[in-house]
Amino acid sequence: MTAKLVLVASYPKSGNTWARLVFERLKRGPSWNFSINEMATGFYGVSRRLLFDSVSPVNCSDLLLHEIENMLPKVLRYVAAASSGDLFLKVHDDMRRTQDGDWLYPPDCVRSVVYLVRHPFDVAISCAHHLGMTPENMVKLMADRKIVSHFERSLPLSLPQHVGSWTSNVSSWIGDSPYNVALVRYEDLIADPLAGFASLARVAGFDVPPSEIASAVEVTRFDALRREEADYGFRERPPTSAQFFRAGKARSWEGALSPELREQILKDHGTIMKQLGYTAEGDVQPLHLSYFPPGSPARVSTPSL
């Protein structure tokens, strides 16, 4: 039986983990004793390396970057064919083709993509905390199209990934696409998680009653996640970060991001921000959740002012 892949994709620190926790709860059902540390890895980081090496006849530690990328779609296709039940992948890559010309994530294996975005002011501060960087350096990093997490002199634990700049990452996934892409803003999920996750659950292939959505939203409340991390830690927290579940709200950039840095972010990402309803004042204009069948350009609507 062939499984389908559901990609939970985003630029880092944009709500990816929250979405995956909800999906995990929906997948395992209400009888599962919810724990942030028992969430499936999403085949991210070291688990993607292990997956690769379990299927590829040669180890990725002996391969060059483009060779790893060329092989990855084949590995994913093999895993989908060998699995039953949908597999949820955590994705921070931008959407692109490999050097061989294949889509990195084979479209015929992908059920849908849930693509999350968050106001880049909040992303800057959240990522800075996560990576142990200054906001200044993080803003520079967000503008860099060439971000590849792959080192040359040593072997990183994670498989290489090409994140790109915030703009290139977002625009790659909401542009012309071979996938069914559901674009969702983190801020809209916070404002109405029941409605938001009800839509996303359908996109992700779940057929569950509203009561289960409500239950999943309840156990993944930010304060509950924060408490569990404080008590037991969170295995996805990197050593550079003091706390993974740190703020969990909109406008967490206030008081932390200088006017100069906000100006820089606007300069680097203003076009996409406008398209997504993200204002220069850090606000979020109303926007409709969108679901795009393959081939159709992502349509984002903002109300006329």
Partner 1 sequence: MTDSHFAEEGIARMDTPVPVAGVLGATSRIVPRLPDHVPGGRDVAPGLQVGPGGVLLSVPNVARYLVHGGTAIEVEIAEGGDHKAVELFLRGSARAILIYQRGELPLEATTIIDPRGTCIALCGFSGAGKSTLAAVLIDRGARLLADGITRVTLSGGRPLAWPSNTSLALWADACETLHIDTSKLTPVRLDLEKFFVPVPAEHKPLPIAVIVKLRLGSSPDVLDVPKELRSDVIAENIFRKLLIDSLTQAENPARIVEHIASYCRVLTLSGAREHPAEELANCLFEALL
Residues that bind partner 1 (CB under 8 A): 46, 49-50, 53-62, 64, 67, 70-71, 74-75, 77-78, 82, 151-155, 157, 239
> At closest approach, how far in Å is the CB of 140 from partner 1?
24
From 34, 98, 92, select the one nearest 71 (Cα to Cα): 98
> At closest approach, how far in Å is the CB of 44 from partner 1?
15
**Residue (37 or 296) nearer to partner 1, CB:** 37
**Residue (61 or 137) nearer to partner 1, CB:** 61
The two structure tokens encoding residue 245:
């579940």
> At closest approach, how far in Å is the CB of 38 from partner 1?
17
Question: CA 14, CA 30: separation in Å to the nearest integer?
Answer: 26
The two structure tokens encoding residue 230:
């404080």
**Residue (157 or 305) nearer to partner 1, CB:** 157
**Residue (70 or 275) nearer to partner 1, CB:** 70
> At closest approach, how far in Å is the CB of 279 from partner 1?
42
> At closest approach, how far in Å is the CB of 153 from partner 1?
4
> At closest approach, how far in Å is the CB of 169 from partner 1?
26
Give me the half-sphere count of Cα atoms (radius 13 Å) on the Cβ side of residue 255: 2
Outline where 3-109 has alpha helix (H).
16-28, 46-55, 65-82
Please check whether residue 212 is in contact with residue 137, taking contact to mean a CB–CB distance below 8 angstroms: no
**Residue (66 or 288) nearer to partner 1, CB:** 66
Question: CA 207, CA 74: separation in Å to the nearest integer?
Answer: 29
Taking CA atoms, 221 is separated from 49, 76, 131, 207, in Å, by 31, 32, 24, 22
Angle subtended by helix axes 259-275 and 120-131, to nearest 10: 120
Phi then psi for residue 303, to 5 deg, are: -70, 150
**Residue (55 or 224) nearer to partner 1, CB:** 55
Taking CA atoms, 280 is separated from 6, 125, 181, 267, in Å, by 33, 16, 26, 10
Taking CA atoms, 38 is separated from 5, 20, 134, 185, 224, in Å, by 20, 12, 31, 26, 15
> At closest approach, how far in Å is the CB of 59 from partner 1?
4
**Residue (156 or 175) nearer to partner 1, CB:** 156
**Residue (58 or 214) nearer to partner 1, CB:** 58
> At closest approach, how far in Å is the CB of 15 from partner 1?
26
